[in-house]
Chain A
């Protein structure tokens, strides 16, 4: 059976272009980038190239890029590091209710340590309200952290407007751009973004590597001690092959952004249209237009998501429910709850995320299978049509 992968927001395949770039660093080039000899120097050169490529991709200086193990680490670092280093300046952080857990859990921890955190609401389409952001900034605010685009519902925030307000008010602005790189044009310098998290494996790069951009002059404490790597801010021998892969992945993603997004967006809109035409009581979550080109989040009335996912899986189709969380409770639907999706529909939510290699034929097969599976599950559902969306 041919398998179809529509879970590219969870992770992506490693592109051959990236793998080719990485290969020598698994074999011939193995020096420690901190060593002074020629083996070390060639590793150092590779590290510098990767840094330059990422800086070019997101519009910043190479010296402002710090390599990490991924966006989760980058997010942990920026929150903890800014909070700790700026305590004399203030103890207030602004974020939103739909951030990734690697932001939310850290914020909750900081609250327990005495910080104040404001979690901004979002509207039904998943956008924060700029006026609400403005009203919540006070003299104690040291950081605004808002994701560029949401991983579950795909909504893209008005980054420029947020950055403008942060700059006007003199507050630092961090954005988690994990899902946005390669889909949304981001130039930190031009837009006035002070910090940004990104990850390799979401953009056809390797797993276990990411980066944090920190604008020069921002006061932040180190993430890990015990080595001079990453300008003494993140100790530990550099993950050379991973970093080389990350550099290439960012370069390719930002280089091909126009071609890829155009193609994927067309396929996505075709898919949305076909599903809604063929399956009644199907609701699209998130913003209709201002959304990631590869994201489709559908709520199917009368149907539960995990069962739908497992039946699609039996047909060779890989998707995700509301979030990749494995918790057995409804708490995992916090993003859908924030955009006011009724509980029963939140439970019947499936996320389809396309890639640049997704084809129309694949999507036609998915629609055909979906029609059958949703009908099968609705047939055994104790919820009636009139009850859909009432909970």
Chain B
């Protein structure tokens, strides 16, 4: 069902776990399949320094989280917002048709994490 690249990543994810010092954290859940993805971002001057994830989900959700966190590292937020679910699927050399929604879920949690970062910035500025 899954290709070799996906299974390789699944068996050895590098970015799984909590990111201490994250200043953008976002969670998204898929009400149809039940999967939950949380993305942690550490951002400095609008550039992502580090990214990690925690995922409750299938092989597709875990690997989509892994490649997405890898893709965004050292990228500017302006570039990151252009990443699409198709980019994630391509990075995995494809996902089965019924699993492609997992890439959308990963992308949604990234958006939530970026949104959280901006909200924190806004709060900090108001505090000043």
Residue B57 at the chain A interface, CB threshold 8 Å: yes
Q: Given A307-B59, A307-B62, do A379 and B34 touch, yes or no (CB 8 Å)?
A: no
Contact at B34–A380, with CB atoms within 8 Å?
A: no
Q: Which of A91-99, A138-146, A187-195, A326-334 contacts B (4 or more CB under 8 A)?
A: A326-334
Contact at B37–A380, with CB atoms within 8 Å?
A: no
Q: Which of A304, A326, A328 contacts B56 (CB 8 A)?
A: A304
Contact at A310–B10, with CB atoms within 8 Å?
A: yes
Q: Which chain A residues lie closer than 8 Å to B32 at the CB level? A: 328-330
* A358-391 to B contact mask, C-beta < 8 Å, 1/0: 0000000000000000000001111100000001
Q: Which chain A residues lie closer than 8 Å to B91 at the CB level? A: none
Q: Given A310-B10, A344-B34, do A381 and B54 touch, yes or no (CB 8 Å)?
A: yes
Contact at B38–A347, with CB atoms within 8 Å?
A: no
* A331-369 to B contact mask, C-beta < 8 Å, 1/0: 000000000000110010000000000000000000000
- Tell me if A's interface is mostly helix, strand, loop or mixed: loop
Q: Given A304-B35, A304-B56, A304-B58, do A328 and B16 touch, yes or no (CB 8 Å)?
A: no
Contact at B58–A330, with CB atoms within 8 Å?
A: no
Give the docked Cα–Cα distance between A330 and B98 (Å): 13
Of residues 57 through 86 on chain A, the ones whose CB sits less than 8 Å from some CB of chain B are: none
Closest to B54 in A: A382
Looking at A302, A310, A330, which has the most chain B CB atoms within 10 Å of its CB? Answer: A310
Contact at B98–A327, with CB atoms within 8 Å?
A: yes
Of residues 95 through 125 on chain B, the ones whose CB sits less than 8 Å from some CB of chain A are: 98-99, 101
Residue B4 at the chain A interface, CB threshold 8 Å: no
Contact at A330–B38, with CB atoms within 8 Å?
A: no
Residue B36 at the chain A interface, CB threshold 8 Å: yes
Of residues 304 through 325 on chain A, the ones whose CB sits less than 8 Å from some CB of chain B are: 304, 306-307, 310-311, 314
Q: Which of A328, A380, A381 contacts B33 (CB 8 A)?
A: A328
Interface bracket on A: 20 to 34
Q: Which chain B residues lie closer than 8 Å to A382 at the CB level? A: 27, 36-38, 54-56
Give the docked Cα–Cα distance between A106 and B103 (Å): 35
In the assembled complex, the CB of B68 is this many whole angstroms from the nearest CB of chain A, namely 14
- Tell me if B's interface is mostly helix, strand, loop or mixed: mixed
Give the docked Cα–Cα distance between A292 and B38 (Å): 39
Looking at B2, B34, B53, B57, which has the most chain A CB atoms within 10 Å of its CB? Answer: B34
Closest to B37 in A: A382
Give the docked Cα–Cα distance between A310 and B53 (Å): 19
Give the docked Cα–Cα distance between A303 and B62 (Å): 12
Contact at A304–B57, with CB atoms within 8 Å?
A: yes
Closest to A348 in B: B56
Contact at A328–B99, with CB atoms within 8 Å?
A: yes
Q: Which chain A residues lie closer than 8 Å to B55 at the CB level? A: 380-382
Q: Which of B17, B58, B59, B98 contacts A380 (CB 8 A)?
A: B17
Give the docked Cα–Cα distance between A326 and B99 (Å): 11
Q: Which chain A residues lie closer than 8 Å to B10 at the CB level? A: 307, 310
Q: Which chain A residues lie closer than 8 Å to B54 at the CB level? A: 380-382
> Lowest 4 CB-CB distances: which A-B pairs, in order?
A328-B98, A306-B58, A382-B38, A382-B54
Name 22 A/B residue pairs within 8 A (Cβ), A-sorted. Answer: A302-B56, A303-B56, A304-B34, A304-B56, A304-B57, A306-B59, A307-B58, A310-B2, A310-B10, A314-B11, A328-B33, A328-B98, A328-B101, A330-B32, A343-B34, A379-B17, A380-B13, A380-B55, A381-B55, A382-B27, A382-B55, A383-B56
Chain B interface residues (CB < 8 Å from chain A): 2, 7, 10-11, 13, 16-17, 27, 32-38, 53-59, 61-62, 98-99, 101
Chain A interface residues (CB < 8 Å from chain B): 302-304, 306-307, 310-311, 314, 326-330, 343-344, 347, 379-383, 391
